[in-house]
Structure 1
Amino acid sequence: MKRGGLLLVLLLLVAAVSGCISPSGTPTTTPSQSLTTTSSTPSPTTTTTQAPPEEPELPAGNYTPIYTGTGKSCPSGRVPVKFTYNPGNKTVKSVSLRGSFNDWGEWPMKLENGTWELTVCLRPGRYEYKYFINGQWVKDMSDDGTGRPYDPDADDYAPDGYGGKNAVRIVKGSTTFYVEFDPADPAYLSIADNRTVVRLEAKRGTVESAVLVTNHGNYTMKLQVWWDFGEVWRTEAPFEEMKYYILINSPDGERFAVLNTSDNPFFSFDGVDRFPQLGWVSNGITYQIFPDRFNNGNKSNDVLALDHDELILNQVNPGQPILSNWSDPITPLHCCHQYFGGDIKGITEKLDYLQSLGVTIIYLNPISLSGSAHGYDTYDYYRLDPKFGTEEELREFLNEAHKRGIRVIFDFVPNHCGIGNPAFLDVWKKGNESPYWDWFFIKQWPFKLGDGNAYVGWWGFGSLPKLNTSNPEVREYLIGAAVHWIKFGFDGIRVDVPNEVLDPETFFPELREAVKEEKPDAYLVGEIWTLSPEWVKGDRFDSLMNYALGRDILLNYAKGLLSGESAMKLMGRYYASYGENVVAMGFNLVDSHDTSRVLTDLGGGSLGDTPSDESIQRLKLLSTLLYTLPGTPVTFQGDERGLLGDKGHYDEQRYPIQWDKANKDVLNHYRALAELRRGTPALRSSAIRFYTAEGGMMAFFRGHNNEVLVVANSWKKSASLELPQGEWKVIWPEDYSPSDPLSGTIEVPPISVIILERG
């Protein structure tokens, strides 16, 4: 049997199981329209006297229909797997499924007739997972406390690395061929850069060509990204109402039509953008500020940090906070209770400096009244912490930032508060007589403030009591606070640990609706560290903190730990998972207040050390990649000055910026990157397409017409690259020696990035 016939047989066997392919391989009618006329880019809108046909025509000749519309069980190549949990007599308010199949993100389960359930579509393989019940991880999935397993259908158990056990599921089936397309998911259909982007996922190497067939015309799909077992094909169409389907040709000449249903074969797009891309984010450059450690503009408010610090209230782990001079050494309290006096006025004083870096977005760590230097133990969500200044100074800062074209987003902490929160203090005093009793999860009363055994706290910390966000009063309080600061003048919100908030599938849509009603172009970012596309489908966040891109992929590539091919495959899975509109709004960072500084991660040393030349070169490589990918590049304060800091040493990455010191080479590099990005529209577009990868080198296109080529080499030896057809000119670095125009083969120096533009 020839390979094409074998492919078709395997496809039919796989799809017959999942119910995605019609038993008939031939359409009931024969259309006259040929599929030879195609376009790779959307045609410009033109005035015409002839209206387009209401529907496209199905292809002539034999083909295999693949139905992916309503009523399908799972996409071809995936198997429905049901997870259940019966709590018996236990009081359970929420259960989520977290495992290796969703990068340990959170998939809420639903209560049906006393049992929590969720059915998901998984590819064949072995998966480990746990349940997340009432905001807490299950310790041992094999024993729910009664000797029974949490999930009766688990196939096995495995150590979780923390003294407990994960459950294991073995999913059987074949992955010989699959096609995935769901226009309700922005990963497959989105509006990006005012274009309708349609994408199709398929098994690697099983698609020779693909065409988007619409009632307005046909559009050639091109291979965009790939990884070990899959690939994505992409095209653009005009942003308008259309009916369509996708025609695929296999390498062996077989044809497949990706259709909606047998009764209604065409997909329909109504021309409405329900998940708008925020252009100010896509075009922006972001800078993160940790206020207490950025700049001290008003020394008179420094001492105000000491009168409401959490250590003063804590009855289990009491202590005394300290107020230090700007250049004082780090103490064991540095993380949380050593104050240096940074404030809002200090940020205002540095706005011109930030503007010189090309910054257009500032992300502020928490500034609400709290009991620590980091601010994640909120006391009053509606009040500016006086240690940071007055509301008048805050309003002046926002006004001055906006005058310079800089927008500001603030940090919001809905999962937990601080022990100085008035509602929690009322519970501490009155027990269940307090009207706020149901705002928290109290295990025993009376209790001592700071006793993590008496009530539920974030990760068991008694200083961070968990909020019951399933309580309507708590929701009203929190969402009201978010809207309050948006009304005050902020432009967006970064949400702390949203995956730990109870009932996130209803809380965050409510938050989004309220915020967007007040300011439609407000930016909502969730602190999710893993590849988790379920959070950015249009009902919760615009973007996630993309550690999954910055730390998991780019950092390891810049270290030289990943080859170009390995890094590109991981990037392929990343870009396949998110809508192009989401990618265009990506909050792309490598380090933050929660990690070691990037230069330290790259081998530059700890605070006070002198970084090596190689670590500086690797920082330049990594930051250049960050500035050339879709989304907004995020710089943690001081990285642009070559600062060092090891998280393992009392969070020394948060040490105050010493403004009289800077690595001028690094500072000039970041300023040049801002100019590069500002002057190269393709680098601010939503479009990315892989070119090639080999050894330590990888290369990808940017722009809707592949007009820019970014080439990186993280290894210590030079690499050779065969340029795409045509002539190219180098736009980065400026001192690249070969003369323009370039064609044929070029040399890529060690630990470097070359950016070329079509001549």
Structure 2
Amino acid sequence: MKLQQLSILFLYLIMVMSCTKTSKEESVSSPEWNKKVFYEIFVQSFADSNGDGIGDIPGMTSKLDYLSDLGIDAIWLMPMSPSPSYHKYDVVDYTGIHPDYGTMEDFKAFIDAAHARDISVIMDFVINHSGYDHPWFQDAMTGKEAKYRDYYVWANKDSIAEQIAKKETSFDSDNIRQWHPVAGDTTQEHYYGFFYGGMPDLNYDNPAVRTEMYNAGKFWLEEIGVDGFRLDAAKHIYPDDRAIDSHAFWKEFKTEMEKVNPDVYLIGEVWADAGTASPYAAGFTSLFNFDRAFSILESINKEKVVAANIAGHGYEIDSSANLAEVINTSLPWFKKYNAEFVEASFLSNHDQNRVASVLGGDQAKIKLSASLLFTLPGTPYIYYGEEIGMLGMKPDENIREPMLWDKVSFDAMRTSWMEADYSTDTSVTSVAQQWSDDQSIINHYKRLIALKKQEVFSLGDIQNLDYKKSGVIAFTRSYKDESVGVVHNLTNQPVELSNALLDKYTTLVWQEGGVERTASTIKLPARASVVYKK
């Protein structure tokens, strides 16, 4: 090779190295998580690339352009690790990929393809418990001297006689038995499993267990390239009477993950009232707001503003409160523990009846629920298929039915691992059909996602506008020098409002439902919404 060619090659290599360095530096710059819109995927039901009836990672990769077109810029993946169950929350290998879903190389390719589209990827990390079939537990069951015995929580049967069937059901578990025997065991010891016997809880009093999980987390962040985790059952790392220990654990977990990615995104599932949940904020980037989801759907169905708060095993409902005041009251509780806390809002997820079914399949109500979600504060999460109005009611399999990409005769990627009872071609209009309909649910979502990207909606504060009219929720969102006024009609009847509270908000930003405005009034049809700015 000539000297001139070598010089050119050398300069080219320097450029490549420089670009690579810049790219790496950019990848670890602080992402603005509160500006993102998340999309939750159950891989098993999402997209099947090889015709075996089971959703897989290459199938997801092929749908990244769809998600990008919709406006999604962050994905939450439900568990993908090896597991004997369809849902895969009983993990048997914390650093593996279930073979039904593909290979680790497939997953790396998915992450690279997502990042190329500026889409972040977080994955479910199920560390409260392992699966019964995990090698650790299989060893632990062999006796008190087993190598991994202390990876789990054990107690003599006599010492827990009153606790064996003591636990009541809760929002995140309908199991009432928390201590479980081992078949054929003569030690008289039971193991602790909050959710059920097939999911034995790990013992986080054991430093070796903590190290195992920290190493597993670092593997996914550093070796594979995920951007963070959704932490399942975060409230139950220790029993509820040891909540302070749980708070401390998550702070330590966050510190360990930040060692390999200072901008790691950690969102916790803490299904509890705001007062109970707020101390967990110290160990997370974000927490799901379960109260908000219930409040939105309940307000629409009751046709009046409802503020709900988890209490015991149900919800306390306050029809005299308003959502803006509730947000402004509770958010500081979380900020006290984490000044950078990002609230996560949603309508439903894989553990709850689907939004469209809760709202009776009424398209106007479905659109209104999305309008509320995206105009209220919080980083929004969309459960796959929610954007096309997929239906589903428990048991859990029926809220995790196959995604409808097209009519079944044209849908080569529809999964068939289960037969859908709710979301079928006769009950739900597919993605392909809805894209061409400007008034469809999916296009409504697309417009709202674009609206949410405006800083006033992603970063702004909220103040109530009191129209003193049942069935109307109105508020302002403000950020820096920008302010918008938002009005939603929760009822199935048109409402006419005075312009007085919005007299300074004169420019139409967005509307749904054909809102009319005169010099003195604003007229909202049934289930309509409107946004004006100053």
TM-score of the two chains, using structure 1 as the length reference:
0.53
The structure number with the bigger radius of gyration is 1
Contact conserved, 1:710 with 1:753, CA < 8 A, in 2? Answer: yes
* Pairing 1:576–2:354 present: no
- Which has more strand, going by share of residues? 1
Rounded to whole Å, the distance in 2 between the matches of 1:738 and 1:570 is 25
Contact conserved, 2:305 with 2:322, CA < 8 A, in 1? Answer: no
Give the structure 1 partner of residue 404 of structure 2: 658
Rounded to whole Å, the distance in 2 between the matches of 1:427 and 1:433 is 8
Amino acid at match of 1:755: V
Shift, 1:736, TM fit: 3.4
Q: Deviations over 1:117-150 (max 9, x none)?
A: xxxxxxxxxxxxxxxxxxxxxxxxxxxxxxxxxx
* Pairing 1:470–2:470 present: no
Higher relative contact order (CA 8 A, sep 6+): 2
Q: Deviations over 1:574-631 (max 9, x none)?
A: 4311246879722211111101110001112xxxxxxxxxx11111111011111222
Shift, 1:572, TM fit: 2.0
Which segment drifts farther, 528-537 or 653-662? 528-537
Choose which of 707, 711, 725 in structure 1 pairs with 2:503.
Answer: 725
Amino acid at match of 1:700: F
Secondary structure of 2:131's aligned partner: coil
Shift, 1:406, TM fit: 0.3
Rounded to whole Å, the distance in 2 between the matches of 1:344 and 1:698 is 41
Structure 1 439/643 Cα, relative in aligned 2: closer, same or farther at 3 Å? same
* Pairing 1:490–2:226 present: yes
Query: Superposed, which structure 2 residues align to 1:635-674 within 5 Å?
Result: 635-648=382-395, 651-661=397-407, 662=429, 664=434, 665-674=440-449
Structure 1 738/449 Cα, relative in aligned 2: closer, same or farther at 3 Å? farther
Amino acid at match of 1:439: Y
Q: Deviations over 1:53-106 (max 9, x none)?
A: xxxxxxxxxxxxxxxxxxxxxxxxxxxxxxxxxxxxxxxxxxxxxxxxxxxxxx
Contact conserved, 1:409 with 1:492, CA < 8 A, in 2? Answer: yes
Q: Which runs of 4+ in 1 moved over 4 A?
A: 443-446, 533-538, 580-584
Give the structure 1 partner of residue 61 of structure 2: 348
Contact conserved, 2:91 with 2:131, CA < 8 A, in 1? Answer: yes
Choose which of 685, 699, 703 in structure 1 pairs with 2:478.
Answer: 703
Which segment drifts farther, 743-752 or 387-396? 743-752
* Pairing 1:712–2:488 present: yes
Amino acid at match of 1:474: V
Give the structure 1 partner of residue 290 of structure 2: 547
Rounded to whole Å, the distance in 2 between the matches of 1:448 and 1:743 is 77
Choose which of 81, 90, 99 in structure 2 pairs with 1:368.
Answer: 81
Q: Deviations over 1:412-445 (max 9, x none)?
A: 11211101111101122x3112111111123579
Query: Superposed, which structure 2 residues align to 1:446-595 within 5 Å?
Result: 447-448=182-183, 455-459=190-194, 461-487=196-222, 488-502=224-238, 503-533=245-275, 535-536=277-278, 539-551=282-294, 553-560=295-302, 562-563=304-305, 566=319, 569-579=322-332, 585-595=342-352
Shift, 1:698, TM fit: 1.2
Shift, 1:654, TM fit: 0.4
Shift, 1:473, TM fit: 0.7
Query: Superposed, which structure 2 residues align to 1:85-124 within 5 Å?
Result: none
Query: Superposed, which structure 2 residues align to 1:179-190 within 5 Å?
Result: none
Tell me the number of residue pairs that the alignment of Structure 1 and Structure 2 aligns. Answer: 426
Q: Deviations over 1:529-566 (max 9, x none)?
A: 23335655552112111111112x11111212543683
Structure 1 431/413 Cα, relative in aligned 2: closer, same or farther at 3 Å? same
Contact conserved, 1:416 with 1:464, CA < 8 A, in 2? Answer: yes
Choose which of 499, 516, 523 in structure 2 pairs with 1:747.
Answer: 523
Structure 1 544/691 Cα, relative in aligned 2: closer, same or farther at 3 Å? same
Structure 1 489/560 Cα, relative in aligned 2: closer, same or farther at 3 Å? same
Amino acid at match of 2:523: E
Shift, 1:642, TM fit: 1.6
Give the structure 2 partner of residue 421 of structure 1: 134
Give the structure 1 partner of residue 422 of structure 2: none
Rounded to whole Å, the distance in 2 between the matches of 1:684 and 1:703 is 10
Contact conserved, 1:575 with 1:583, CA < 8 A, in 2? Answer: no
* Pairing 1:624–2:371 present: yes
Contact conserved, 1:729 with 1:756, CA < 8 A, in 2? Answer: yes
Choose which of 442, 451, 458 in structure 1 pairs with 2:154.
Answer: 442
Q: Deviations over 1:351-372 (max 9, x none)?
A: 0011111000100001122221
Give the structure 1 partner of residue 457 of structure 2: 683
* Pairing 1:296–2:42 present: no
Structure 1 residues not aligned, in runs of 5+: 1-276, 303-324, 326-340, 605-614
Q: Deviations over 1:22-45 (max 9, x none)?
A: xxxxxxxxxxxxxxxxxxxxxxxx
Contact conserved, 1:583 with 1:686, CA < 8 A, in 2? Answer: no
Contact conserved, 1:291 with 1:365, CA < 8 A, in 2? Answer: yes
Rounded to whole Å, the distance in 2 between the matches of 1:747 and 1:568 is 24
Contact conserved, 2:486 with 2:532, CA < 8 A, in 1? Answer: yes
Structure 1 598/567 Cα, relative in aligned 2: closer, same or farther at 3 Å? farther
- Which has more helix, going by share of residues? 2
Secondary structure of 1:423's aligned partner: helix
Amino acid at match of 1:548: D
Secondary structure of 2:48's aligned partner: coil
Give the structure 1 partner of residue 143 of structure 2: 431
Structure 1 449/578 Cα, relative in aligned 2: closer, same or farther at 3 Å? farther
Structure 1 536/558 Cα, relative in aligned 2: closer, same or farther at 3 Å? same
Rounded to whole Å, the distance in 2 between the matches of 1:755 and 1:542 is 29
Rounded to whole Å, the distance in 2 between the matches of 1:472 and 1:594 is 31
Give the structure 2 partner of residue 53 of structure 1: none
Contact conserved, 1:297 with 1:342, CA < 8 A, in 2? Answer: yes
Structure 1 733/516 Cα, relative in aligned 2: closer, same or farther at 3 Å? same
Rounded to whole Å, the distance in 2 between the matches of 1:454 and 1:465 is 13
Contact conserved, 1:730 with 1:736, CA < 8 A, in 2? Answer: no
Amino acid at match of 1:470: D
Give the structure 1 partner of residue 38 of structure 2: 286
Rounded to whole Å, the distance in 2 between the matches of 1:483 and 1:567 is 47
Contact conserved, 2:303 with 2:491, CA < 8 A, in 1? Answer: no
Rounded to whole Å, the distance in 1 between the matches of 2:140 and 2:233 is 24
Secondary structure of 1:287's aligned partner: strand
Query: Superposed, which structure 2 residues align to 1:67-86 within 5 Å?
Result: none
User: Structure 1 vs Structure 2: percent identity of aligned residues?
Assistant: 32
Contact conserved, 2:513 with 2:525, CA < 8 A, in 1? Answer: no
Secondary structure of 2:154's aligned partner: coil
TM-score of the two chains, using structure 2 as the length reference:
0.74
Amino acid at match of 1:627: F
Q: What is the Cα-based RMSD across aligned positions, in Å?
A: 2.7
Amino acid at match of 1:669: H
Structure 1 726/460 Cα, relative in aligned 2: closer, same or farther at 3 Å? closer
Contact conserved, 2:132 with 2:198, CA < 8 A, in 1? Answer: yes
Structure 1 492/401 Cα, relative in aligned 2: closer, same or farther at 3 Å? same
Contact conserved, 1:709 with 1:756, CA < 8 A, in 2? Answer: yes
Amino acid at match of 1:381: Y
Give the structure 2 partner of residue 185 of structure 1: none
Rounded to whole Å, the distance in 2 between the matches of 1:518 and 1:449 is 44
Structure 1 497/528 Cα, relative in aligned 2: closer, same or farther at 3 Å? same
Rounded to whole Å, the distance in 1 between the matches of 2:106 and 2:80 is 13
Contact conserved, 2:515 with 2:523, CA < 8 A, in 1? Answer: no
Contact conserved, 1:599 with 1:642, CA < 8 A, in 2? Answer: yes
